[in-house]
Copies of this chain bind each other. A is one copy, B any other.
Amino acid sequence: MKSYTEYLWFNTAKRREYINITPEVEKALAKSGIKEGMALVSAMHITAGVYVNDAESGLIQDIDEWLEQLAPYNPDYRHHRTGEDNGDAHLKSLIVHHEVIIPVTEGRLDFGPWQQVYYAEFDGQRRKRVIIKIIGE
């Protein structure tokens, strides 16, 4: 079994941002030399997510507004007694989930026609990380 690990760093200009990281995951896969296996892409922070969906700007805005409805910014979260103001970002991260696992077949991400991997930042404007870990042969 081979294994390959890489870390991506982000520091977004806005508090919430959605970044297509498919090219970075594909580059990591090429470097790994792995042909058959699985690629894990996982946020290393508890106020960010990783998801697979469409690279369509209207939809991304829909997702952002919808997440704000389901898990709104609100000064009154108990978590804020710690001095934080990012309770909503934790809840948004729970909805979209913080990681995906992508099948690797014949040396490529075995995605359907429209699938793309996104990093979803819910509490940005500071340095944060994603791990890519690929195992296989």
Chain A positions near chain B (C-beta within 8 angstroms)? 1, 3, 5, 36-38, 40, 42-46, 51-54, 56, 58-59, 61-63, 66, 70-71, 77-82, 87, 90-91, 93-103, 105, 110-112, 114-115, 129, 131, 133, 135-137
Contacts and interface: CB of A to CB of B under 8 A. Distances in A.
A135 B3 CA distance: 11
A44 B54 CA distance: 12
Contacts of A58: 77-82
A94 B64 CA distance: 12
A60 to B, nearest CB: 9
A90 B63 contact: yes
Contact of A137 (B3, B71, B100): B3
